[in-house]
Amino acid sequence: MNSFIKDIFGIFKIFEDVYARIKKILIPPKAYSWQTLMYLSVFSWALSYFAIGYVRDIIALCGWLFLIAGTAWYTTDDPVKVPGTYMPLGAVITGFLVSVFALGNQETGITPIAIVFWPTIAALITAIPEFIEGNDIDSKARVPKPESRQKIIILVGSCMIISCWLQFYFVMDKWLQQYPSVLADDFRRSTFVIISEKSEEIPKNGVLILNRLQPLVEEQIADKRWSEVERWLLEANVRLAQLGKQVLEQNLAQYQEKEVWRIEPRVVNTKAGYRLDLLSIWLGPSSNANGYYLKKSCQIEPVAISTGNRRTSNRLPEDKPTVAEIDCDRLSQLIPGAPPPQQ
């Protein structure tokens, strides 16, 4: 019975300790404290919700300032150092808030530029006390002591390097979003770029261009009179330039890489007729000095239309009407190097 009573009082003791800690955190010991600034921040944001126009912006600005000041005060009361440095963890948190406040977006809050400047701002916040001497009432600026200057330079310089690497990451990410075909290249010789996912062997946008171009070419050639088709092939450069522009605008409008794809034809005489090679040529960056291109070949042959609408292929008597028949490869080929010259 006694042990049971002790257990009950022990449980109450635990709740009492928890309550005391929460009370210590939530209730300011005096009016001038970090808790007061936090409450002012929450009050400002709540008040700005009901305001409009520039008044709302001013109140929200005050809320941000109270939040930054309160966080900085709380984290510097009992500072915890970032392992391996003399940077307080509070400076990292305060630097994040300052970065989001100064460089963030009003709707989303966090932006890439805010993340990039975060380490550098945190380092500057850490270095500020070294330039001030005195107490809260009487303080003045000073030149840091010689033993502190080296630490400041190393800390700020290191954080600036981290900011540079973060900026490099966002630049690469933007490039790969706008130029996804770069992922199909070989990065094994790169010392600073690592592709986590296995890259595709053939750039999908290059394949997409040829797949969308093929039916347009077939539409202009299939079942047309052979004399018209031969004239079309003589003007293939102009024809493909028009069709290629149409394909790029319709299918790669969301990518900037549409500017570095060029579409060209290659016409080759064969025994049975002609071979039309559709080329999508990559003009962007490549690990191959000569770049690469994709090719899809189409065989174009004349066929005769008999009175019974039955066709016979290859070279035909002159008295029978002749039309073109086109048959294109199902898959595109990726060929490294420069495309063959036009004949």
Same domain, 85 and 213: no
Is 140 part of a structural domain of the chain? yes
Q: Is residue 187 part of a domain?
A: no
Single-letter amino acid code for the residue at 110? I
Indicate whether 102 and 166 sit together in one domain. yes
One digit per residue, pLDDT tens: the chain, 343 residues?
545 444 554 554 555 666 566 655 556 666 667 677 777 888 887 888 777 777 887 888 888 888 888 777 776 666 667 777 767 778 888 888 888 888 877 666 788 999 999 999 988 888 887 777 766 556 677 777 787 888 888 889 999 999 999 999 898 888 888 888 877 776 666 666 666 555 556 788 889 999 999 999 999 998 889 989 899 999 888 888 899 999 999 888 888 888 889 999 999 988 888 999 999 999 888 877 788 899 999 999 988 776 555 555 554 445 557 888 999 988 888 888 888 887 6
Structural domain includes residue 315: yes
Between CA 216 and CA 214 the distance in angstroms is 5
Let me know whether 242 and 164 are in one domain: no
Same domain, 14 and 61: yes
Position 285 in a domain: yes
Instruction: Provide CB contacts within 8 A for 156, sequence distance 6+.
Output: 120, 123, 124, 127
Let me know the angle formed at the C-alpha of 226 by 218 and 264, rounded to the nearest 5 degrees.
Answer: 45
Note whether residue 199 is domain-resident.
no
Coil, strand or helix at 215: helix
Number of domains the chain is built from: 2
Q: Are residues 109 and 222 in the same domain?
A: no
17 and 113 assigned to the same domain: yes
Question: Are residues 138 and 234 both part of a single domain?
Answer: no
**Contact of 236 with 263, CB cutoff 8 Å:** no
Nearest to 151 by CA among 86, 88, 94, 92: 86
User: Do 40 and 167 share a structural domain?
Assistant: yes
Same domain? 108 vs 240: no
Q: What is the domain extent for residue 41?
A: 2-177
One domain for residues 140 and 34: yes
274 domain residue, yes or no: yes
Which of 177, 195, 215 terminates a domain? The answer is 177
**Are 79 and 218 members of one domain?**
no
Same domain, 143 and 236: no
